[in-house]
Structure 1
Amino acid sequence: MSAIFALANQKGGVAKTTTTGVLAAGLKKQGFSVLTIDCDPQGNLSMSVAAENQDSATMYEVMKGTVSAREAIQHTPSCDIIPANTILAGIEQELHNVGKEMTLREKLRDEQTGVAEEYDYILIDCPPSLGLLTVNALTAADYLLIPTMAE
Structure 2
Amino acid sequence: MKEVKIESTLYVFENLDELPEEISLLMQQAVKARENAYAPYSKFHVGAALLLDNGEVITGNNQENASYPSGLCAERTAIYYAGSQYPEAKVLRMVISAASKRQTTITPIPPCGACRQAISEYEEKQESPIEIYFMGEKGKIVKSNSLANLLPLVFDKSVL
Pair in the same fold by TM > 0.5: no
The structure that has the greater radius of gyration is 2
Q: Which has the higher contact order (CA 8 A, sep 6+)?
A: 1
Judging by fraction of residues, say which structure has more strand: 2
TM-score range, shorter-chain basis? 0.3 to 0.5
Normalised by the size of structure 2, how large is the TM-score? 0.36
Judging by fraction of residues, say which structure has more helix: 1
